[in-house]
Amino acid sequence: MTIHIGADPGDVAETVLMPGDPLRAEWVAQTFLTEVRCINRVRGMLGFTGLWQGHRVTVHGSGMGMASLSIYANELIRDYGAKTLIRIGSCGAMQPDVQLRDVILAMTATTLSTPSSGIFRELNFAPCANYPLLRAAADAAMARGTRCHVGGIYSSDVFYDERPDLNEIMTRHGILGVEMEAAELYNLGARHGVRTLAVLTVSDHLLTHEALPAADRQSSFADMVEIALTAAFS
Protein backbone atom coordinates (compact mmCIF):
# COMPACT_ATOMS: atom_id res chain seq x y z
CA MET A 1 0.00 0.00 0.00
CA THR A 2 1.27 3.47 -0.90
CA ILE A 3 0.01 6.98 -0.22
CA HIS A 4 -2.17 7.00 -3.34
CA ILE A 5 -2.70 3.30 -4.14
CA GLY A 6 -4.38 0.99 -1.64
CA ALA A 7 -3.47 -2.27 -3.38
CA ASP A 8 -1.80 -5.06 -1.47
CA PRO A 9 1.52 -6.59 -2.60
CA GLY A 10 0.90 -8.81 -5.61
CA ASP A 11 -2.35 -7.09 -6.56
CA VAL A 12 -0.80 -5.16 -9.47
CA ALA A 13 0.16 -6.98 -12.67
CA GLU A 14 3.44 -6.27 -14.46
CA THR A 15 1.39 -4.89 -17.38
CA VAL A 16 -0.66 -1.79 -16.61
CA LEU A 17 -3.01 0.14 -18.88
CA MET A 18 -3.47 3.75 -17.76
CA PRO A 19 -6.50 5.72 -18.92
CA GLY A 20 -6.87 9.17 -17.43
CA ASP A 21 -10.46 8.70 -16.28
CA PRO A 22 -10.99 6.20 -13.43
CA LEU A 23 -14.45 5.38 -14.77
CA ARG A 24 -12.88 4.52 -18.11
CA ALA A 25 -10.53 2.20 -16.21
CA GLU A 26 -13.60 0.47 -14.82
CA TRP A 27 -15.17 0.23 -18.30
CA VAL A 28 -11.99 -1.24 -19.80
CA ALA A 29 -11.64 -3.80 -17.01
CA GLN A 30 -15.27 -4.90 -17.21
CA THR A 31 -15.30 -5.00 -21.02
CA PHE A 32 -11.98 -6.64 -21.85
CA LEU A 33 -10.83 -8.59 -18.78
CA THR A 34 -12.08 -11.64 -16.94
CA GLU A 35 -11.84 -12.52 -13.24
CA VAL A 36 -11.73 -8.79 -12.50
CA ARG A 37 -11.39 -7.38 -9.02
CA CYS A 38 -11.00 -3.82 -7.82
CA ILE A 39 -7.60 -3.22 -6.21
CA ASN A 40 -7.75 0.51 -5.52
CA ARG A 41 -10.32 3.15 -4.62
CA VAL A 42 -8.12 5.67 -2.79
CA ARG A 43 -9.26 9.24 -3.58
CA GLY A 44 -11.67 7.83 -6.14
CA MET A 45 -8.86 6.70 -8.45
CA LEU A 46 -9.97 3.24 -9.49
CA GLY A 47 -7.69 0.33 -10.30
CA PHE A 48 -8.61 -3.19 -11.41
CA THR A 49 -6.70 -6.40 -12.07
CA GLY A 50 -7.91 -9.28 -14.21
CA LEU A 51 -7.01 -11.56 -17.09
CA TRP A 52 -6.84 -10.92 -20.83
CA GLN A 53 -6.38 -14.12 -22.83
CA GLY A 54 -4.75 -15.67 -19.77
CA HIS A 55 -2.40 -12.75 -19.11
CA ARG A 56 -2.62 -10.72 -15.90
CA VAL A 57 -3.40 -7.06 -16.57
CA THR A 58 -4.02 -4.08 -14.33
CA VAL A 59 -6.05 -1.11 -15.52
CA HIS A 60 -5.45 1.94 -13.33
CA GLY A 61 -6.54 5.54 -13.77
CA SER A 62 -3.85 8.21 -14.00
CA GLY A 63 -5.93 11.34 -13.53
CA MET A 64 -5.61 14.36 -15.83
CA GLY A 65 -2.23 15.90 -16.57
CA MET A 66 1.39 14.92 -16.17
CA ALA A 67 1.59 15.80 -12.47
CA SER A 68 -1.17 13.33 -11.62
CA LEU A 69 0.13 10.60 -13.92
CA SER A 70 3.60 10.97 -12.42
CA ILE A 71 2.29 10.12 -8.95
CA TYR A 72 0.55 6.92 -10.02
CA ALA A 73 3.19 5.75 -12.51
CA ASN A 74 6.00 6.26 -9.98
CA GLU A 75 4.18 4.22 -7.34
CA LEU A 76 3.15 1.50 -9.78
CA ILE A 77 6.75 1.11 -10.95
CA ARG A 78 8.69 1.58 -7.72
CA ASP A 79 6.33 0.00 -5.19
CA TYR A 80 4.38 -2.56 -7.22
CA GLY A 81 6.88 -3.70 -9.87
CA ALA A 82 5.03 -2.64 -13.03
CA LYS A 83 7.19 -3.34 -16.09
CA THR A 84 4.96 -2.24 -18.99
CA LEU A 85 2.82 0.89 -18.74
CA ILE A 86 0.60 1.89 -21.66
CA ARG A 87 -1.38 5.10 -21.65
CA ILE A 88 -4.75 4.69 -23.36
CA GLY A 89 -6.68 7.88 -23.88
CA SER A 90 -8.05 10.52 -26.18
CA CYS A 91 -6.24 13.25 -28.07
CA GLY A 92 -6.87 16.16 -30.38
CA ALA A 93 -5.66 15.84 -33.97
CA MET A 94 -3.27 18.47 -35.33
CA GLN A 95 -2.81 17.29 -38.93
CA PRO A 96 -5.33 17.43 -41.81
CA ASP A 97 -4.87 13.75 -42.72
CA VAL A 98 -5.70 12.56 -39.18
CA GLN A 99 -9.39 11.86 -38.72
CA LEU A 100 -11.77 11.36 -35.82
CA ARG A 101 -11.57 7.79 -34.42
CA ASP A 102 -8.08 7.26 -35.88
CA VAL A 103 -5.47 5.82 -33.53
CA ILE A 104 -2.19 7.61 -32.90
CA LEU A 105 0.85 5.74 -31.59
CA ALA A 106 3.15 8.28 -29.97
CA MET A 107 6.74 7.67 -31.01
CA THR A 108 7.91 10.85 -29.26
CA ALA A 109 6.27 13.41 -26.98
CA THR A 110 7.17 17.08 -27.23
CA THR A 111 6.35 19.31 -24.28
CA LEU A 112 7.04 22.68 -22.66
CA SER A 113 7.46 21.22 -19.18
CA THR A 114 6.90 18.08 -17.14
CA PRO A 115 7.30 17.12 -13.47
CA SER A 116 10.76 15.90 -14.53
CA SER A 117 11.88 19.32 -15.75
CA GLY A 118 13.55 20.03 -12.40
CA ILE A 119 15.73 16.93 -12.82
CA PHE A 120 16.80 17.69 -16.38
CA ARG A 121 17.41 21.40 -15.67
CA GLU A 122 18.86 22.96 -18.83
CA LEU A 123 18.77 19.68 -20.77
CA ASN A 124 16.07 19.28 -23.44
CA PHE A 125 15.57 15.56 -22.93
CA ALA A 126 13.67 13.86 -25.77
CA PRO A 127 11.19 11.34 -24.28
CA CYS A 128 10.18 8.50 -26.59
CA ALA A 129 8.27 5.24 -26.56
CA ASN A 130 9.74 1.78 -26.14
CA TYR A 131 10.41 0.72 -29.73
CA PRO A 132 9.49 -3.00 -29.56
CA LEU A 133 6.21 -2.02 -27.90
CA LEU A 134 5.60 0.67 -30.50
CA ARG A 135 6.31 -1.73 -33.35
CA ALA A 136 4.02 -4.39 -31.87
CA ALA A 137 1.23 -1.83 -31.54
CA ALA A 138 1.66 -0.73 -35.16
CA ASP A 139 1.51 -4.37 -36.27
CA ALA A 140 -1.63 -4.93 -34.18
CA ALA A 141 -3.32 -1.88 -35.68
CA MET A 142 -2.48 -3.04 -39.20
CA ALA A 143 -3.81 -6.53 -38.48
CA ARG A 144 -7.09 -5.04 -37.26
CA GLY A 145 -7.38 -2.72 -40.25
CA THR A 146 -7.44 0.30 -37.94
CA ARG A 147 -6.49 3.69 -39.37
CA CYS A 148 -3.28 4.38 -37.47
CA HIS A 149 -0.60 7.06 -37.42
CA VAL A 150 2.86 6.74 -35.87
CA GLY A 151 4.85 9.85 -35.00
CA GLY A 152 5.33 12.71 -32.60
CA ILE A 153 2.68 14.13 -30.31
CA TYR A 154 2.54 17.16 -28.03
CA SER A 155 1.93 16.71 -24.30
CA SER A 156 0.46 19.95 -22.99
CA ASP A 157 0.53 20.91 -19.33
CA VAL A 158 -2.64 23.00 -19.71
CA PHE A 159 -6.09 22.13 -21.01
CA TYR A 160 -7.42 25.63 -21.71
CA ASP A 161 -4.62 26.66 -24.05
CA GLU A 162 -4.17 30.33 -24.93
CA ARG A 163 -1.21 29.81 -27.26
CA PRO A 164 -2.62 29.42 -30.80
CA ASP A 165 0.82 30.32 -32.11
CA LEU A 166 2.27 27.26 -30.37
CA ASN A 167 -0.37 25.00 -31.90
CA GLU A 168 0.52 26.38 -35.32
CA ILE A 169 4.20 25.60 -34.71
CA MET A 170 3.36 22.05 -33.63
CA THR A 171 1.25 21.49 -36.75
CA ARG A 172 3.97 22.95 -38.97
CA HIS A 173 6.49 20.50 -37.52
CA GLY A 174 4.34 17.43 -38.11
CA ILE A 175 3.00 16.84 -34.61
CA LEU A 176 0.07 14.43 -34.98
CA GLY A 177 -1.98 15.26 -31.91
CA VAL A 178 -2.11 16.82 -28.47
CA GLU A 179 -2.84 15.23 -25.09
CA MET A 180 -1.67 15.80 -21.51
CA GLU A 181 0.22 12.80 -20.08
CA ALA A 182 2.54 10.88 -22.41
CA ALA A 183 5.76 12.91 -22.12
CA GLU A 184 6.07 12.32 -18.39
CA LEU A 185 5.19 8.64 -18.78
CA TYR A 186 8.04 8.32 -21.28
CA ASN A 187 10.41 10.17 -18.94
CA LEU A 188 9.61 7.70 -16.17
CA GLY A 189 9.99 4.75 -18.52
CA ALA A 190 13.50 5.90 -19.41
CA ARG A 191 14.41 6.64 -15.79
CA HIS A 192 13.27 3.30 -14.38
CA GLY A 193 14.04 1.07 -17.36
CA VAL A 194 10.45 -0.03 -18.03
CA ARG A 195 8.44 -0.20 -21.26
CA THR A 196 6.10 2.71 -21.97
CA LEU A 197 3.79 3.64 -24.84
CA ALA A 198 0.83 5.93 -25.51
CA VAL A 199 -1.99 4.59 -27.69
CA LEU A 200 -4.46 7.39 -28.38
CA THR A 201 -7.85 7.71 -30.04
CA VAL A 202 -8.61 10.95 -31.86
CA SER A 203 -11.70 12.42 -30.21
CA ASP A 204 -11.55 15.95 -31.59
CA HIS A 205 -9.70 17.98 -34.23
CA LEU A 206 -7.94 21.28 -33.65
CA LEU A 207 -8.02 22.24 -37.33
CA THR A 208 -11.58 21.32 -38.30
CA HIS A 209 -13.11 21.71 -34.80
CA GLU A 210 -14.90 18.38 -35.21
CA ALA A 211 -15.50 16.33 -32.07
CA LEU A 212 -16.95 12.95 -31.21
CA PRO A 213 -20.21 13.14 -29.26
CA ALA A 214 -19.77 11.92 -25.70
CA ALA A 215 -21.92 8.84 -26.39
CA ASP A 216 -19.65 7.79 -29.27
CA ARG A 217 -16.33 8.19 -27.51
CA GLN A 218 -16.40 5.05 -25.40
CA SER A 219 -17.39 2.75 -28.26
CA SER A 220 -14.68 4.30 -30.43
CA PHE A 221 -12.01 3.46 -27.85
CA ALA A 222 -12.32 -0.31 -28.23
CA ASP A 223 -9.73 -0.50 -31.03
CA MET A 224 -7.26 1.44 -28.93
CA VAL A 225 -7.63 -0.95 -25.99
CA GLU A 226 -7.30 -4.07 -28.14
CA ILE A 227 -4.19 -2.65 -29.81
CA ALA A 228 -2.62 -1.86 -26.45
CA LEU A 229 -3.36 -5.31 -25.02
CA THR A 230 -2.13 -7.12 -28.12
CA ALA A 231 1.08 -5.08 -28.17
CA ALA A 232 1.77 -5.70 -24.48
CA PHE A 233 1.84 -9.46 -24.96
CA SER A 234 3.34 -9.78 -28.45
* Domain annotation covers residue 39: yes
Domain membership flag for residue 198: yes
Q: 220 falls in which pLDDT band (50, 70, 90)? A: confident
Q: Does 228 map to a domain?
A: yes
Asked whether residue 8 is assigned to any structural domain, the reply reads no
For residues 111 and 178, what is the distance between their CA atoms, to the nearest angstrom? 10
> Domain of 167?
15-232
* Known binding residues for a purine D-ribonucleoside: 4, 179-181, 203-204
Nearest CA among 177, 131, 137 for reference residue 153: 177
DSSP 206: T
Domain count, the chain: 1
Q: What is the pTM of this model?
A: 0.96
Tell me if residue 139 is catalytic: no
CATH code assigned at 72:
3.40.50.1580
**Is 5 within a domain?**
no
Sequence ranges of the binding site for phosphate: 20, 24, 43, 87-90
Catalytic residue among 102, 204, 216, 223: 204
Q: Is the residue at 21 inside a domain?
A: yes
132-144 pLDDT tens trace: 999 999 999 999 9
Q: In this model, does residue 108 exceed pLDDT 80?
A: yes
Instruction: State residue 41 phi and psi, 5-degree precision.
Output: -135, 10
Residues 147-156 pLDDT 10s: 999 999 999 9
Helical pair 182-192 and 66-78, crossing angle rounded to 10 deg: 30
